[in-house]
Amino acid sequence: MESSPAIFAGTAFALFGAALLIWTAARVRHRAPVAHGVNPATAAALTTIFGAGFLLAGVWCFSRL
């Protein structure tokens, strides 16, 4: 029973991180703005960093099982 929260958190973090990375890649590939009113390079870099961070957090949660 103690592993259920880790599985839920790991799944949520991993899915959100992967989705954020895929969405950012699609926006950059189509040369569409990642965030309105922000420098495109800065927005792409920050969303990539946060997407990778969330993905790593999900992997870390799964490693705690």
Q: How many domains does the chain have?
A: 1
* CA–CA gap between residue 4 and residue 59 (Å, rounded): 15
Cβ-based neighbours of 44, under 8 Å, separated by 6 or more: 24, 27, 28, 34
Is the pLDDT at 13 greater than 80? The verdict is yes
pLDDT per residue as tens digits for the range 23-59: 999 999 999 999 999 999 999 999 999 999 999 999 9
- What confidence score (pLDDT) does residue 30 get? 96
* CA–CA gap between residue 45 and residue 56 (Å, rounded): 16
Q: Which domain holds residue 39?
A: 3-63
